[in-house]
Amino acid sequence: MNRFLPINREDMAERGWDELDFVLISADAYVDHPSFGAAIIARVLEAKGHRVGIIAQPDWHRDESFLKLGVPRLGFMISGGNIDSMVAHYTAAKRRRSEDEYSPGGKAGFRPDRPTIVYSKILKRICPDKPVIIGGLEASLRRFAHYDYWDDTVRPSVLAESGADLLSYGMGENQTIEIAARLAAGEPIEDLTDIRGTCYMADTAPAVAGSVSCASYEKVAEDKTAYARAFKIQYEEHDAVYGRTIIQKHGERFLVQNPPMPPLEQQELDWVWSLPFARYYHPSYEKDGGVPAIEEVEFSIMHNRGCFGACNFCSIATHQGRRITCRSEESVLAEAKAMTENPRFKGYIHDVGGPTANFRQPSCQLQLEKGLCRGRKCLAPSPCKNLQADHTEYLQLLRKLRALPKVKKVFIRSGIRFDYLLEDRDDSFFKELVEHHVSGQLKVAPEHCSAAVLDKMGKPHIETFNRFTKEFYRITKEVGKEQYLVPYLMSSHPGSTLKDAVTLAVYLKKNRIRPEQVQDFYPTPGTVSTCMFYTGIDPLTGKEVFVPKTPREKAMQRALLQYYKPEMKLQIIEALKAAGRTDLIGNGPDCLVSGDGKGERTAQNGRNNGKKPPKNQKNSEKNSRSPRGTDRPNRKGGKNDPRRGGKHK
């Protein structure tokens, strides 16, 4: 197994180092795997000849925890972790979580809320002359003045609030390489104002040709219309081809965002994945039971980055970008072959995916030269006429992975974009997906059935999902398997009225779908949907949007989606009365809930799409999925998933 990077003075001495160039401080436990952003940045710095050490989850109550590796020669780098800390710590109902899969033993409490700010302030106090660079998902999504759901207020840029010297946003390999090289060459941190993919604070607004200003922090904090307009500028300029410098005033200073760094080319992405990752958590965590987050990714392969699906509630478009880049077939196969030599490998590759598993190429060739279209989505509400849907390369890759010695099965568990799949005129991938790559259940994300709500989500209309469902079960029957679709659904998204929730409940009952997991909309930083939630305005159109916000209405919408549960009966009756749909209360075949006090007992016998429901699904807030792009380490994200997403379409 490859050696881990130093985490203490003993590790440094073993390498013959008495001083480090950079100390990387992470709010996650130290997992040296390319699904973890901090691990990537550390290995990239190492590969470029820098001496790097890791301080994972320092005790923020003790200054000495930040100096255990000494004061670095060139500077500190901070990552808030693979998912936003507030998503990691709190449910959508703002209840404190008792678990943290990115911490030793899965226990919560090893990091503060908003660690990027906390860590940076400590470092600037105890080492005021050393550069502090912040990066990762938390910094990336909070780089402008932003609505914070947990405080229910607009907070300033995390760069302004933290006091750090520089912020790296997006996928940060190339900007990190440039920052490190220029610091090593003797340039002062305050002169690093021209690096793409970074933000800095300035005392005066720089005169940058073609730059654009958006409303100040103070203005967006008091004027929701100004907030929506500022957000639209920030969203539309996030393109490496045509994106411009953006300036936002904060008090007497100015936040300056340079244009995005271009995505890594395939050769660069392959290089990153070839670095000597240990691909496991640090052995010091064994006594605590390890780090649970490794379970999702140890035997999974990420083959791409970016997502042109760009769902409005997902942070991936704001962090990774909409342009797809992917690793070469040779790189993926080399990772898989090495995986089969791992003594813990049991023959199953759990996933070959990424933010969206079946995106293996840009949505069209025009974007490579001109960038992604402003004001348009590639897939929603209907596919663009220029869309190029082709799974040939992805299918060939999967076939070669299946043929590897010691590989029993290759599954696809990260999101499949079913509308894109249906656009491929060759159904070979669809057939082989069903026959070879589904582990009993395939998770898909229709999210809703109301066209009005789906439009606000940036998702295809339900007719597309219906076509996919019909074809999935036809092929499943044809290949003689018993497999099921597990639909992801979201309640209380901006634009969703109580009547829309009733419509979805009726759809679910009609199609004999009984969701065990329902995600309440979670307003995470940096997404279009969060802007709608805060302002009541769709920033992309300027039109007003209804937003369900009261706990009562959100509870009713959630209950309707689980219409079949007796414990939801009183809330469902209340919701149906409020929506003027008392016709759905009673004992008729179309009713959602009985009127005799016995709860809803239909003749479905627990069937899902005509089949028995999936097993081993728990209905609890603790286990409900986190917002896409923030939920898992670089899988939909993420969560974080966030994410995924995450990482998780």
Token pair recorded at residue 155? 């907070």
pLDDT in tens, 495-543: 999 999 999 999 999 999 998 878 999 999 999 999 999 999 999 999 9
Residue 634 above 60 pLDDT?
Answer: no
Residue 622: pLDDT band (50, 70, 90) is: very low
Helix axes of 266-273 and 329-340: crossing angle, nearest 10 degrees: 10
Residue 157 above 80 pLDDT?
Answer: yes
Looking at per-residue pLDDT, the higher value among 150 and 644 belongs to 150
CA distances (Å), origin 179, targets 195, 219, 493:
8, 32, 40
Token pair recorded at residue 315? 């942070």
Residue 112: pLDDT band (50, 70, 90) is: very high
Alpha-carbon torsion angle 82, 85, 91, 94, nearest 10:
-160
DSSP characters over 473-499:
HHHHHHTT---EEEEEEEES-TT--HH
Token pair recorded at residue 261? 């760094």
By residue count, the chain amounts to 649
How far is it, in rounded angstroms, from Cα 26 to Cα 607? 45
Specify the pTM.
0.90
What domains appear along the chain, each with residue ranges and CATH number? 9-198 (3.40.50.2300), 299-584 (3.80.30.20)
Residue 625: pLDDT band (50, 70, 90) is: very low
pLDDT in tens, 371-380: 999 988 999 9
Residues of the chain above pLDDT 90, percent: 88
- H/E stretch holding 25: strand 22-26
pLDDT value at position 595? 77
pLDDT value at position 518? 86
DSSP state of 406: T
pLDDT in tens, 560-615: 999 999 999 999 999 999 999 999 999 999 999 997 444 334 333 333 444 444 44
Contact in structure between 492 and 553 (CB atoms under 8 Å): yes
pLDDT value at position 89? 96
Token pair recorded at residue 47? 């590969």
pLDDT value at position 627? 47
Strands (E), 570-611: none
pLDDT value at position 613? 43
Beta strands 198-202 and 166-168: pairing type? antiparallel
pLDDT value at position 414? 83
Mean pLDDT, residues 206-215 taken together: 95
pLDDT in tens, 445-465: 999 999 999 999 999 999 999
Residue 559 above 60 pLDDT?
Answer: yes
Average pLDDT of every residue of the chain:
91
